[in-house]
A = this chain, B = another copy of it.
Amino acid sequence: MSRSAAGGAGGAAQLRETEAVPVFAALADATRLRLLRRLSSGESLSISRLSEGERVTRQAITRHLYALGRAGLVRHQRKGREQVWDLDLKRLEKARGYLDHVAAQWDQAALRLKAFVEETEK
C-alpha cells in the first residue's frame, strides 16, 4: 500500500470529485478502454485504423473518440484526408490524479474500518 499525496489535505476533495465524473464516465465503456489502450502505444492513429478489429461501425468508433475527447483524454488532428488521434498527456496526468484520489480515499477507509473493528472487539 502506501499512498502519499492525493487524499492528504482534503481541501479540494469536493471539487475534484465533480471534475472526476466525466473522466469516469469516459472510462465506463469497454470499447473506449480498448481505444485508449491502443493509443497508449504512442502512435497516432486514424479513425479507420482504430476501427479495425472492432465489431462496431466506424461511426460508433468516431463517437467514442469524441466522448474520450470531451473528457480530455485524447485529442485529434487533421492529417490529409485522415483524422489522427493521440492521447492528451497533460490532461491524462490530471485524470490520473482523480484515480489516485479515489484510491487514496479507499485506503483511508480501510484503515478507519480496521480501527472500528478493533474498537468493537475490545
Interface residues of A in 58-108 (CB under 8 A from B): 86-87, 89, 92-93, 95-96, 99-100, 102-103, 105-108
Name the B residues within 8 Å of A92 (CB-CB): 106, 109-110
Evaluate contact between B105 and A40: CB separation under 8 angstroms: yes
Tell me the count of chain A residues lying within 8 A, CB to CB, of chain B. Answer: 42
Interface SS, A side:
helix
Name the B residues within 8 Å of A34 (CB-CB): 17
Given A27-B102, A96-B106, A110-B89, do A37 and B21 touch, yes or no (CB 8 Å)? Answer: no
Name the B residues within 8 Å of A29 (CB-CB): 21
Evaluate contact between A103 and B105: CB separation under 8 angstroms: no
Quickly give the copy total for this chain. 2
Least CB separation from A92: chain B residue: B106
User: CB < 8 Å: which of B30, B43, B89 contacts A21?
Assistant: B30
The reply to whether the CB of A45 lies closer than 8 angstroms to some CB of chain B is no
21 contacts between A and B (CB under 8 A): A17-B33, A17-B34, A20-B33, A21-B28, A22-B28, A24-B24, A24-B25, A24-B28, A25-B25, A25-B28, A28-B28, A39-B109, A40-B106, A40-B109, A87-B113, A89-B109, A89-B110, A93-B110, A95-B106, A96-B106, A100-B103
